[in-house]
Structure formats: structure tokens, C-alpha cells
A and B are shown apart, each in its own frame.
Chain A
Amino acid sequence: MGKHVVVIGAGPAGLETSASLAKLGFHVTLVEKEDVSGGHLKKWHALFPTLLSGKDALETITKGLDSSIKIQTATKVTGLEAVNDYFTISGHNGWQEKADAVVLTTGFQLFDSHRKEEYGYGIYENVITSADLEELFASGKAFVNRHGNKPERVGFVHCVGSRDEKVNNLHCSKVCCITAVKQAIEVKQLLPDAEVFCFYMDLRMFGRHYEELYKEAQEKYNIQFIRGRLSESTEDRDGNIVVKVEDTLLGKPLRIKVGLLVLMAGMEPAPDTKPLANMLGLKNVSDGFIQPLDEVLHTNSTEIPGVFVAGTCSGPKSVSDTLADARSAALAVADYLKS
């Protein structure tokens, strides 16, 4: 066949798309702006719902890569142009290639929790994000808060930067409810005496075995779920975080002190996604994620023939959803290049 495909972004989506395309016989270049591939998966200690090690998962995904795939790391794609029946893709460092098709797998960026000023991230030491917590788990260090104490209570705040029009994000990030449940369990495993609370608006346990994990969190770990969204957090003298929510089911405002507060930061489109989409003339969608040709039927094609999407650059997804999406993108590319 000899057709050439450039895949932009070497997270789970880019890796799996490239592997599948190579298996289908295409020449693939996988471009990644960072020095190492793996995307966000590099940072996750254990994955829901099975607690599979993030490292192992990444290794398995990477093993699938054929040696014919050219991996161009440390190259941030900054130019994308459709020329007649091919595309020119160029990087910030002068790298340039032509391709018969392009797959955008630029992924997501973690919501910057500093933007929720009232939650005190970056100000109160013991307010951290879910990503910081994964890092803490992965480090294998003793589980202590930023004041060196074993927290007696840990709180998880759902929907930080998601479902919040005050930061211009209406969408649900899908993975953070189950991540909170997973991390709450992991905290209880490390600190069996700690009390753990999740503050939520809705618990979105949509995936296979998510509800079971939620039940396990209640049954085995006695994790408390309080239905209310945080209005603010502050710090007490000992560096504990004092949070305010309404216990909506009781209809009363509630105040509670926790030794560590974890913000479940949501997903936003990766910063380069929009400029790249604009260069190709793809329609902008209000939430900033790339709009596939059809959200039900053609989830990997776009309005522009030869341009495909996979993974979280077209909306929040779990790793398993991302991988399935990547494989299906490879088939869509094959379909296009064969015709």
C-alpha cells in the first residue's frame, strides 16, 4: 500500500492508533511534543476500575508498536496544511513531513485548579489535585499531607473545573467520579483509620464495574458520600482545610475540617488542539474539543476528508474508551486510504 499517515500526539490514543495502522500495513510517523511518549498515562499510578498499574498498562500499549513506526519525539506540531490530496505537517523544530492522512490525538489538558480561587489550590498547602495524588501514590513515599502529618480526614471534591460555567466548562469530564472513588479506596488502604469523604453533585458510575467499586467503597471502606458542591475552602491554624458545602439531602449548610483536600480536576482540550483544528478549517465547538463528523455514527472522521480524531481530543474518555476509539480510528483511516 505504501500510504503514509502522521499521528499527532503519543498518548494512549496516538500509540494505539499508530500500532493498529502499522498492523494494517501503513507507514506511520507518530509525533510527540514531549521527550517521552505516553501522555497522561505516564502519571497515573493505578487505573480504575481494576487498579491495573499505569506503568504496566503503558508498557503493554507500547509493546504493540511495530518497529516500522517512526516516533518523532520532542517535536511539537505547529503547522498543518491540506495541499491537494495530501497534508504537510510541520513541527516547531523544523521537522516536516507529508502524509496521505492525519490523525489528531492531541489529548486533553488537566484543568488548572488555580482558577477555582475559592478552593485555595496553590495557596493552602493541603489542597492538592487528583493528579498530585497519583504522583504521591506513585512515589511510594509515606502518605502524609504537606505538613508532614497523616491526615485523619481526607476529602475529595468532584467536578473541579467540570460542569462549571464560572470557568466556562459545561461538560462532564467522565473519569473523575470513578477516579475519586478509586483514590478514596487507595487512601483508605494506606490509612485505614482515616475518614474519607466525597463531595459530589452526581455520581456518574457509568462504566462496567464502576458501580461495584462505588459499593465496595461504601461496604468495605466506609467512605462517606455527601451530596453537595463546595462553595469555598479555607485553612485553620493547624493547616487543616475547612470546607463549606450544603448537605443538600438534609438541606443544611455543612462545615467540615479535613487534613487533605483533593480536587478532582477535570479535562479541558489540549492547548494545541484548537489552533491545529483552525489551521485545517475544522469547525470550532463551544467546549473546545474536536467535533467528529457525527457523534453517533462517524466518531473518528471529521468534516475534512483525510483528517481523523481519536482519544480525548474529541472529548473526555477513559483509557479503555480511548484505546477502543484509537483502533476504530485506524479502521476509518484504512477505509479512507483504500478508496
Chain B
Amino acid sequence: MKLEGKRLIWQDYQKEIADDHYFYARSCIRQTFFPGAEAVFVKILKDELGKDIHDEQHHTSCTGIGYHSDVVPFDTTMTVVARQFALMTEAGYENYAASCVTSFGLYTEILDTWHHFPEKEAQIREYLFKATGREFTKPKNLAHASDIVYKFRHQIAAKAKYKLVDKNTGKPLKVVEHIGCHYSKMFPHKGIGGAEYPYVLSGMIEAWGGEVIDYPERRHCCGFGFRQYLVQANRGFSLSCSKKKFESMEPYEPDMIITNCPGCPMFLDRWQYALSEMEGKTYGENHNGIPVFTYEEVAGMIMGYDPWEIGLQVHQVPAEPLLDKIGIPYDSSRKFKGKNGEDLGMPESPSYLKFYSE
């Protein structure tokens, strides 16, 4: 692989990312999937980088999952999104930062639709006004939260306590990056690095000391696919998509997977458990899986935040082997303790996947 070749393509897919004053819209599912991720994002932006970020409380789901599952019509979706824009306008912001990749893709799609069909925009404005009495200005800048972390990746690296490096060998960790489909596959020019060789996570990995792995099924979807997962009978397709990816990355012996979408870390993480239970197969060495993280969690990890504060204990594939490789300390006895020290209860130990407790 010639990195210069990729760099040439990356030059063609750069985008404007606002420098400060973000209106942050959280994801409707991430806080249950990876509860620390968004908190880490807000903390790093506010406390480490001194940015102004408005953490909006009144926004709703963007309806993206419903839209992509064919249960919410586009007009409804656009009106809901128009309301989010109105909240941004009311809060006095013009830079919209979406936590969710599907929301980001949907906002992009809606803004593009309005660009081509201004009459549609007018109609949605009318719907919104009739329903809520609200009005809005379109965002001046629309970014996915990973774009923002990408923008400040070097500042984060400069403040970081740890690197994505194996402390025993001194070698960079081998990292698989997985980009949510809706980040740039629909609008390649709206994603850093484009659709074929997205750079948004690779840039972070490089800046934080790791080595990016390019494996044959890199472009393949994690398998969430909304309709594949939402109907239980279809979940096998979802699982099989993830399996296709694991089998393709396995020979590279990756140390970790980093993702930028709500669904991907969920499925790449939980399906490793399901696959191990169904087939007795694990994809890391010694019955370990390949730990899966969100980019915010990784930023938090290298900043030296307590692994349990940023929610790594809720991962199905234990993070400990990776923490050990980097040399990040953790207190095993606090793994299943809540914020105020209350006992969260011990999860059942999987049959094959190695489990870490005290």
C-alpha cells in the first residue's frame, strides 16, 4: 500500500469544520450503548480545549432509524430535523455538531434536498411553524463530532498521557478503523477523506501513535443495516456481515477497532460475543476478542481518564488486554461499581470469550 496515494485522495476531500461554538446534538442510542463516549467528547472540548459547546437537552431523535427502516416518511423526518435546527437557532448557535453518523448523514441529505428543491424547504418551514410556532436558520457549519475530534487531534495528542503504542515492544498498535456508512458513502465530499478511503479516524490513529490496518473487507458495513437488525428473524444477516469483517481483519492481528458511528461499535462488539457463543470462535489471541471503541473513548483513554469513568466496563469484549498493552492503569475492583460506588452487579461470564473481573 502506498500511503502517498491515499494522501492524494485525502487532499480532494477536506471540509470546513467550525473552530468553536458548537451546538451539540446527542445520539438517541449511544448513551445506552457506550455511555461514556459523549460525556468524554463534551469534557475534552470544554475542559481540555476550552471550546464553547452547547449540550442541548430538548432535542429529540432525528428519526433516522425510523426513516431508514421505512417507518417514518421523509416529510416527517425533515420537520423533526427542522425543529432541531430551530433549537440551535434559539440557543444562538450556527455550528451544528451531530454525535450520530446517521443523523449527520440525514442532515446532509436534508440540506442537499433543500438546496435542490427550495420549495420543499419552504413547505417544511411551514409545517414546523404550524406545528410548533418555531422558525430556524440553517446551520452555517455542519459537522459530525468525529470531524471535530479529527480537527483537534494534534492538540489532543499534545495533551495526551498515553499513545497507541505497545509499551512492551514500543511498536504502534495495529488499529482497524471502521466508518459508519452514513458518514460519507452518501455524500463523499462531506466526509474527511471521502467514501473510499475515509481519513477521519485514520488521522486520529496516526496522530495518536497507532498504525492503521487496511484489510479487504474494510468498506463492508458492520451489519447494523437497521432493517437487518430490527427484525429478530433478520439478525443473522447483521451478524454475518460483522463476521465477514472479522474474518477479513483477523490475519492482521489487530489490537483494537475504532469506530465513529453509534451502531458499528455496538455490533462489532456485541456480535463478537454472539459469534463466540454460537461457534466457539474468538478473534483475538488467548480467547480474547478484538476490543472495540468509539473515537471519544480512545481520546479519553489516551488523555488518562479512568477507564471505568468513561464506561469501558460495559463493553462486551473486555478492554483490559488493550489497557495493559498501552500501560493504562485501572482498578479491577471498581470495574462493576457505579458512579457513587454502588455495586452494579456482575454480568454473567461468557462461555468462550475471556472475562475479566477482580
Hey, which chain A residues are within 8 Å of B217, CB to CB?
Answer: 234
Q: Does B194 contact A (CB under 8 A)?
A: yes
Q: Does A59 contact B (CB under 8 A)?
A: no
Max count, chain B CB within 10 A of own CB: residue among A121, A122, A123:
A123
B174 to chain A, nearest CB (A): 11
- 1/0 contact trace for B205-237 toward A, CB 8 Å? 000000000111111000000000000000000
Q: Verify B214–A122 contact, CB threshold 8 A.
A: no
**Partner among A120, A122, A234, A235 whose Cβ is within 8 Å of the Cβ of B8:** A122
- 1/0 contact trace for A117-132 toward B, CB 8 Å? 1101111110000000
Q: Does B170 contact A (CB under 8 A)?
A: no
- Take A122-B2, A123-B5 as given contacts and tell me if A237 and B252 are in contact as well, using a CB distance cutoff of 8 Å: yes
Hey, which chain A residues are within 8 Å of B2, CB to CB?
Answer: 122-125
Hey, which chain B residues are within 8 Å of A66, CB to CB?
Answer: none
Q: Verify B8–A114 contact, CB threshold 8 A.
A: yes
- 1/0 contact trace for A237-251 toward B, CB 8 Å? 100001000000000
Hey, which chain B residues are within 8 Å of A114, CB to CB?
Answer: 5, 8-9
- Take A117-B9, A122-B8, A125-B1 as given contacts and tell me if A236 and B216 are in contact as well, using a CB distance cutoff of 8 Å: yes
Query: Which A207-253 residues have a C-beta within 8 angstroms of B?
Result: 232, 234-237, 242
Rounded to whole angstroms, the CA-CA distance of A117 and B1 in the bound complex is 14
Rounded to whole angstroms, the CA-CA distance of A124 and B197 in the bound complex is 12
Q: Verify B197–A234 contact, CB threshold 8 A.
A: no
Q: Verify A232–B1 contact, CB threshold 8 A.
A: no
Hey, which chain B residues are within 8 Å of A234, CB to CB?
Answer: 214-219
Hey, which chain B residues are within 8 Å of A122, CB to CB?
Answer: 2, 5, 8
Rounded to whole angstroms, the CA-CA distance of A235 and B194 in the bound complex is 18
Q: Verify A235–B196 contact, CB threshold 8 A.
A: no
B258 to chain A, nearest CB (A): 19
Q: Verify A235–B214 contact, CB threshold 8 A.
A: yes
Q: Does B6 contact A (CB under 8 A)?
A: yes
- Take A123-B1, A123-B2, A124-B1 as given contacts and tell me if A237 and B251 are in contact as well, using a CB distance cutoff of 8 Å: yes
Rounded to whole angstroms, the CA-CA distance of A54 and B297 in the bound complex is 60
Q: Which secondary structure dominates chain B's binding surface?
A: loop
Hey, which chain A residues are within 8 Å of B8, CB to CB?
Answer: 114, 122
Hey, which chain A residues are within 8 Å of B195, CB to CB?
Answer: 117
**Partner among A118, A121, A235, A242 whose Cβ is within 8 Å of the Cβ of B1:** A235
A260 to chain B, nearest CB (A): 15
Residues of chain A at interface, number, CB under 8 A: 15
Max count, chain A CB within 10 A of own CB: residue among B9, B196, B215:
B196
Nearest A-chain residue to B3, judged by Cβ:
A123
Hey, which chain A residues are within 8 Å of B197, CB to CB?
Answer: 117, 123
Q: Verify B5–A242 contact, CB threshold 8 A.
A: no
Hey, which chain B residues are within 8 Å of A120, CB to CB?
Answer: 5
Hey, which chain B residues are within 8 Å of A117, CB to CB?
Answer: 9, 194-197
A234 to chain B, nearest CB (A): 4
Max count, chain A CB within 10 A of own CB: residue among B1, B215, B216:
B216
Rounded to whole angstroms, the CA-CA distance of A121 and B219 in the bound complex is 17
Q: Verify B216–A235 contact, CB threshold 8 A.
A: yes
Rounded to whole angstroms, the CA-CA distance of A118 and B215 in the bound complex is 14
Rounded to whole angstroms, the CA-CA distance of A120 and B9 in the bound complex is 10
Hey, which chain A residues are within 8 Å of B216, CB to CB?
Answer: 234-236, 242
Hey, which chain B residues are within 8 Å of A232, CB to CB?
Answer: 196, 219
Rounded to whole angstroms, the CA-CA distance of A234 and B8 in the bound complex is 17
A231 to chain B, nearest CB (A): 9
Hey, which chain B residues are within 8 Å of A121, CB to CB?
Answer: 5
Query: Which B1-41 residues have a C-beta within 8 angstroms of A?
Result: 1-2, 5-6, 8-9
Hey, which chain A residues are within 8 Å of B5, CB to CB?
Answer: 114, 120-124
- 1/0 contact trace for B227-258 toward A, CB 8 Å? 00000000000000000000000011000000
B26 to chain A, nearest CB (A): 33
Nearest B-chain residue to A240, judged by Cβ:
B216
Hey, which chain B residues are within 8 Å of A123, CB to CB?
Answer: 1-2, 5-6, 9, 197
A194 to chain B, nearest CB (A): 21
Hey, which chain B residues are within 8 Å of A124, CB to CB?
Answer: 1-2, 5
Rounded to whole angstroms, the CA-CA distance of A121 and B8 in the bound complex is 12
A299 to chain B, nearest CB (A): 38
- 1/0 contact trace for B245-285 toward A, CB 8 Å? 00000011000000000000000000000000000000000
Hey, which chain A residues are within 8 Å of B251, CB to CB?
Answer: 236-237
B19 to chain A, nearest CB (A): 29
B188 to chain A, nearest CB (A): 9
Rounded to whole angstroms, the CA-CA distance of A52 and B1 in the bound complex is 35
Q: List 15 A-B contacts (CB under 8 A).
A: A114-B9, A117-B9, A117-B194, A117-B195, A122-B5, A122-B8, A123-B1, A123-B5, A124-B1, A232-B196, A232-B219, A234-B216, A234-B219, A236-B251, A237-B252
Q: Knowing that A114-B5, A118-B196 touch, tell me 18 more A-B residue pairs with CB under 8 angstroms.
A: A114-B9, A117-B194, A117-B195, A117-B197, A121-B5, A122-B5, A123-B1, A123-B2, A123-B197, A124-B1, A124-B2, A125-B1, A232-B219, A234-B214, A234-B215, A234-B218, A237-B252, A242-B216
